[in-house]
Amino acid sequence: MAVAAVLVATGLTVALPAEAQSRRAPAASASVAASSGAPARYSVVRDVNFAQTMPSASGTLVLFVSGEDDLAARGLDAATVDAIKTGLTGARYTYGARKNISLYGVAGWDRIYVQGLSANATGADMQTAGTIAGRALMSDPATLTVAAKGQSNDTVSEIVTGLGIGQYRVDFYNTTTSRPVTGAVTVITDSVEAQSHYRGRGAAIVEAMNWTRNISNEPANVVYPDVFAARTREAFAGIPGVTIEVLDGAAMERLGMGAILGVGRGSVRPPAIVAVRYRGVQTDAPVALVGKGITFDSGGISIKPSANMGNMKMDMSGAAGVVGAVLALAKAGAPVDVVAVAAVAENMPDGNAIRPGDVLTAMNGKTIEIGSTDAEGRLVLADAIAWADTTYNPSAIIDVATLTGSVGGALGPDYAGLFSRHDALAAQVVAAGKASGEQVWQLPMNPAYGSRISSPIADYRNGGEPGPGAGLGAEFIGEFVRPETPWAHIDMANMAYGGGNDVKPAGSAGWSVRLLERLVRDFQPVVKEKGTGGH
């Protein structure tokens, strides 16, 4: 196998790309120094402790309740319960999902924060409630006491996981923002197993979500393919069972990866494929998660409008998400075999860039006419998927990408688009979405789409024509997977980033980490046969 370096998660080093291939990137500006190390200004998650006895009233008391009766079940004394009821009644508070209120100076507490739950809340609903509370309290300097007696280990873990996710801040380059030093979280529960329950999974999800958001939110003059690879190595350093493989430009040339190399031709920063395998169990067929990693997408020669182009620093959200999902699984020591393959490149329009009408040859020998250089995501995925399929002989491939604007027109801000020829795998993805709260909606793969991506001069055309853009993108990507390999494509262009709300700040949502983590944990092997579903 031609690679730049094979790395084990200790003593990590990587060979630089061959000079003839690299056209090395210039130094970043002094105002924002490029570094593979995580800046100290990134969000810091509050320490989390567990106890079985309520402390004396001090700081902020946090309650998650679906109705008035829940107040007495949280381990509070009768006088405190009565005082809270009086305050909520006076404020005309109504319980329910996403409804919250703060009471100040009640029962000796500086603040009592009440977060509503629906009566039939799922685990995902509990985590969302925790996330909303984390957002509301992220600037509260006080120690947080979460009264959680009467709630199950699963519920407590989901709530505390949500609290950690909700504390994330995106303003890490704002030098005028004064952030308060926040106190720890103490969770009061009657279960002696609650702490190990959370440490065994939830804490790793919080860390992985933060990593995914951080690298996605970084500007493109700080994070580009080489830095993505370096930050990945740092994130996994010392974790047992992890190996990291990096393909540089020279290695990809030898493998014939003309599609991803074509995308990267217009940039002084060469592309890379970063593969992270975590073996919590030994198998011969890992689940392969493949992510689109365009660290900046100008559109290339088919240049994008200037409005909102800055968000294209987050066009690598698929790559960040698949690496983040494996980080969550590896940090938790999950008993799974999984590999994340990140196809990382920068799509720029210099004199060496590919043009509409050019023809590229992918790793599997198939030829691609360029209809639009702004349909670059499917090009980098074509080589990455073909390589993952032949290198790992995976039990399934799930690719994740901010691929098309059309998926948002179809599904709005509530679901990512799911495409698959293998109904049994698609059903597992849908189930994982519901369990994690990162939901998908399956869209059709019409056999007629094949003729829509054909080219008169090459095997395929990568885009540029009107029509069902998300479906045509999926059809194109599917041509680079062996027909018998169970495969699903998730187009999350409408979910990966956006404006702030009660669940997330502006910027990256870290979307797909929880979905993929759940999918891999629960994965059941699918029979390898030519897929016929999804129509």
Active site residue 434: no
Structure tokens belonging to residue 262: 């074509």
d(CA 400, CA 183): 37
Q: What angle in degrees, to the nearest 10, is found between the helix axes of 123-137 and 423-436?
A: 40
Structure tokens belonging to residue 226: 């080489």
Q: What angle in degrees, to the nearest 10, is found between the helix axes of 317-331 and 203-217?
A: 160
- SS3 state at 442: strand
Cβ contacts of residue 267 below 8 Å, gap of 6+?
224, 345, 346, 347, 348, 350
User: Which residue in the list 135, 331, 378, 521 is annotated as catalytic?
Assistant: 378
DSSP 3-state percent helix, strand, coil across the chain (nearest 5) = 35, 20, 45
d(CA 522, CA 123): 15
* 391 close to 306: Cβ distance less than 8 angstroms: no
- Compute the C-alpha angle 215/219/224, nearest 5°: 70
**What phi and psi values does residue 78 have, to the nearest 5 degrees?**
-60, -40
- SS3 state at 451: helix
- SS3 state at 402: coil
* 492 close to 512: Cβ distance less than 8 angstroms: yes
Residue 423, judged by CB atoms within 10 A of its CB (0-12, 13-18, 19+), counts as: middle
> To which H or E segment does residue 215 belong?
helix 203-217
d(CA 119, CA 133): 18
Q: What is the 3-state secondary structure (H, E, C) of 4-53?
A: CEEEECCCCCCCCCCHHHHCCCCCCCCCCCCCCCCCCCCCCCCCEEEECC
In this structure, the strands spanning 460-461 and 367-369 are parallel
Residues 174, 176, 177, 183, CA torsion sign: positive
User: Which residue in the list 23, 304, 434, 528 is annotated as catalytic?
Assistant: 304
Residue 19, judged by CB atoms within 10 A of its CB (0-12, 13-18, 19+), counts as: exposed
d(CA 245, CA 226): 13
Active site residue 421: no
Residue 41, judged by CB atoms within 10 A of its CB (0-12, 13-18, 19+), counts as: middle
Active-site residue set: 304, 378
